[in-house]
Structure 1
């Protein structure tokens, strides 16, 4: 069995219960398969069940990592205050990766072999998830609701993988189809972060364009450390692009749109996906992000929106009281993911093991979250959903245009 690096890590433990101070244990020998009986009860005692995650709390996508963590902790605290699930409290061990693959490998090694987690839950980042999943699966540890829309999170089908939102690939294909058919766009282009996530955006744009008899006219890649985008945007403008699909994250989305504003480029639609969707983008004071679109699996809600249900309004109020800020999409996703886990634990019963937990997850075939979005699983379907919502920035807020778009 391929080994994760055994390195000592000063991890961050954010737990809904007491922190685990156990000493480091060695990983199994390379030729030793996990013992079925031992693996089945990892992370489960008479009084608690332990989940873990490697996530970004202080790096390039910390907005996602922190928000997801806050939402999840809020739901687990509710469950624990009510007595837990079948007499067990839920403990959630969190390791900060700073969106760096080496740190993710170290963190996963600790969570799997020292902390003996029951499952990995809502680990954020495409390259960080991809770097550890194979070893994780060899150890029998499920990957539940990763904070990534990469297809590798759901394809090929594996019993140990579950997603709670659509893929970036689906979102971008839906975007191309929508803007070509509904808005009359004819010249799609792509700007993307040069990593696994960004390349998936390129693939989606190319595939949908080809299906509609079009070609991607131009593409520009960049590194996560880049901060100057004027020349790349001039290059796209010179190619005659009228639709730019964005394989970006929060910071670079803003910088790119600032560059577009600087060169005076108009009559072009910039369209992102779930990874480039957050209030920080809408809040940009220069106005450069006005009119920016995003295809996402859940649309942000606002506390003062009169259309909110009482349940949504109460949740937003409680979140603000707990964390001192308005909840964003990452927090919504974190809360829903944790709620789905609670549902699965309840269905799995007191005699808990991973096989029963997976079966319980697969039995969730008609779940609607408190925000009105449906999630459907089955024995051969762990994807959750394939529909996208379309949002646009208007006057510093995200406005939802549609909530059920596919390609």
Structure 2
């Protein structure tokens, strides 16, 4: 190679590097050495059991990547903001992350009404919404190229559960107890859709606030309606209190069915919860899990955070890992467009928790749609079925 060839080669390499740096400089949240993500979540409110653990899960996966040198020379950083599961605080947290911190994307943002409230400003700023801790259909529909959600929706889940109990257990009188929020209304809509498909009616419904603690009146109302199955649009505390209240009142011949928001180790371990059902998406992270990768995750998580993980940690970790796959697919020249293409290139992704395969595409923003039925037995969640359809 002669002198002029060497000069041209060096010049070309320098120009390419300059162009890549310029593109990154124009991409919010991206520098030559770092990619900054935002995570508005609940650290102090009624869903804090999910918010704290899911943010730990995101940090854990990002730390693993950073300890291995990052992605294309860039370390991953997440800024976590507490929104206390309140819409006004969520809007404030989102605005800070978008306008002050200039984050590249949101990863693992928690709550249906909170995500919905942030979408307009978020998407106007070109900030993707990645793997929210909400299974509402609005997390992937209507189509928006900046939305990515990886699992079955609440509607998918409750429809599958109701279908199972009606067809396999002979249930006829279906009722709904739901949070009077965007999240809870998803459960009500799903239950009505499946009831119509099955040719049955929703016998009774009750609505409550996320912060309610006394469920005597709604339980009495549902019992008088002779409900055989109560579909729950609830999270943690508002799953435990109604169920245990019903059992203490002697109402033992009714099935309580939650969705993935109730499929939580804290719910399973709470006193008096045996016999409670919920729809699950992945293995529960128990220390004695028969799945080696789950067992190792639990060990590593506890070593890092000094507490046992719950299912929120799983959701955060998987969402962060899917984000990592998208970043890898995007290549060194990281821009919003290259990242979107990188996410759309994810095919047949399998997590370490026996979750469903996840695939995206140019017009596909819901990566999977199956869920399974689980029951609390001896203070732990146990799978009852294989993935269900409806």
TM-score under structure 1 normalisation? 0.88
Cα-Cα RMSD: 1.3
Q: Is the 8 A contact 1:95 1:107 kept in 2?
A: yes
Residue 231 of structure 1 aligns to a residue whose secondary structure is helix
Within-5 A mapping of 1:258-297: 258-285=244-271, 287=272, 289-297=273-281
Report how far residue 38 of structure 1 moved: 9.1
Instruction: Tell me how far apart the structure 1 counterparts of residues 80 and 212 of structure 2 sit (CA, whole Å).
Output: 29
Partner of 1:381: 364
Pick from 58, 64, 81: which aligns with 1:78? 64
Give unmatched runs, 5+ long, in structure 1: 1-36
Q: Which protein has the larger Cα radius of gyration, Structure 1 or Structure 2? A: 2
Partner of 2:336: 354
Instruction: Tell me how far apart the structure 2 counterparts of residues 347 and 254 of structure 1 sit (CA, whole Å).
Output: 42
Report how far residue 175 of structure 1 moved: 1.0
Name the structure where helix makes up a greater proportion of residues: 2
Give unmatched runs, 5+ long, in structure 2: 1-22
Residue 375 of structure 2 aligns to a residue whose secondary structure is strand
Partner of 1:326: 308
The C-alpha deviation readout for 1:34-60, integer Å capped at 9, x for no partner, is: xxx799510000110111011001101
Report how far residue 216 of structure 1 moved: 0.1
The C-alpha deviation readout for 1:277-302, integer Å capped at 9, x for no partner, is: 211111122x2x11100012223132
Partner of 2:226: 240
The C-alpha deviation readout for 1:252-307, integer Å capped at 9, x for no partner, is: 1111012101210022110000112211111122x2x11100012223132113x2
Instruction: Tell me how far apart the structure 1 counterparts of residues 287 and 364 of structure 2 sit (CA, whole Å).
Output: 34
Partner of 1:302: 286
Instruction: Tell me how far apart the structure 2 counterparts of residues 260 and 115 of structure 1 sit (CA, whole Å).
Output: 47
1:345 aligns with 2:327: yes
Report how far residue 313 of structure 1 moved: 2.0
TM-score under structure 2 normalisation? 0.92
Pick from 340, 353, 358: which aligns with 1:371? 353
Instruction: Tell me how far apart the structure 2 counterparts of residues 149 and 369 of structure 1 sit (CA, whole Å).
Output: 18
Partner of 1:218: 204
Report how far residue 107 of structure 1 moved: 1.0
Q: Is the 8 A contact 1:40 1:354 kept in 2?
A: no
Q: Is the 8 A contact 1:299 1:391 kept in 2?
A: no
Instruction: Tell me how far apart the structure 1 counterparts of residues 374 and 126 of structure 2 sit (CA, whole Å).
Output: 38
**Count of aligned pairs between the two proteins:** 367
